[in-house]
Amino acid sequence: YHPQTSGQVEVTNCGLKRILKRTVGENRALWSDKLEDALWAFKIAFKTPIGCTPYRRSSKAAAE
């Protein structure tokens, strides 16, 4: 495992973890129930490096 070679993956994982912590709150046993909501929140959040949301970017790629 070499985190320095997968920097974008680490950033993504950190973002998802942060969203999960906020949505789950104190009851961490139910994190899997909130995973779908966390993934959706991540997909629709604007990302400056790509200039749009991951959802928009993937839907554009699917349309091409």
Q: Is the pTM of this model over 0.75?
A: no
Reduce the secondary structure of the chain to three states and give it as a string.
CCHHHCHHHHHHHHHHHHHHHHHHCCCHHHHHHHHHHHHHHHHHCCECCCCECHHHHHHHHHHC
What number of other Cβ atoms are within 10 A of residue 57's Cβ?
Answer: 14
Domain that holds residue 9: 3-63
Per-residue pLDDT reduced to its tens digit, 22-54: 888 888 888 888 889 889 988 888 888 888 998
Count how many domains the chain has.
1
pLDDT of 8 reads: 78
